[in-house]
Amino acid sequence: IEGIMTRSFGAFMRIQDASGGFSIRQTFGAFFDSIASGGIRAGDSVRITGKISEFSALKQINAADFYSFTRLDRDHAVPAAQLVTLAELATNGEQYESELVTVTGVTVAAVGTFAAGTTYQITDVSDSTRRVTLRIPNAADSQVDGLPIPGGPVTLTCVVGQFSSADPAAGYQLLAVLAGDI
């Protein structure tokens, strides 16, 4: 798989090209170390070789199935996030899996500060069903842990994830990785 790295933080990396996005999960090894040291970063063009599998309906290359990587180029523009609504994600989230999307006018149904490893209910004017959630990944995989939860509508630019082994057409999450994603 080849694409431009959009989010690379902690154990999860996302690449994207004109055809879609893809997730890679690594917790150790040369690729993980290269991400941690800045040897590979957002905007880099990479080639990943491995075996595709699914974890709770999210297609990815997982640690044991990761074979090799090559950084092809540096400093490309990160692919532009597609502007979508929560209703679009709730009814057709598979189309956006592992891609960067932007959703405007989102309200988070919580107060205080964001906590790592926590899922938050969100709404916008298109969808009040709360079928799409905002997920703050584990602290090692996100810069959002501890940031204040906004009191009013915000714009989210996040990666679309999925977490529903019971229903592969549901369970879509917006994954906030960088502090600027919210």
Write the pLDDT tens digit of every residue in 52-86: 988 777 788 988 899 999 999 999 999 999 999 99
Q: Per-residue pLDDT tens for 135-180? A: 999 888 899 999 999 998 999 999 998 876 566 556 789 999 999 9
Rounded to two decimals, the pTM is 0.89
Between the CA of residue 146 and those of 45, 74, 150, what are the distances in Å?
Answer: 31, 31, 12
What is the Cα–Cα distance from 37 to 128, expressed in whole angstroms? Answer: 41
Is residue 149 within 8 A of residue 110, CB to CB? The reply is: yes
What is the Cα–Cα distance from 143 to 178, expressed in whole angstroms? Answer: 5
Decide the pairing of beta strands 133-136 and 172-175.
parallel
- What pLDDT does residue 165 have? 52
Tokens of 156: 């989210």
30 sits in which H/E element: helix 30-37
Between the CA of residue 81 and those of 70, 99, 181, what are the distances in Å?
Answer: 24, 8, 11
Q: Per-residue pLDDT tens for 10-35? A: 888 999 998 889 999 888 889 999 98
The residue type found at 153 is P
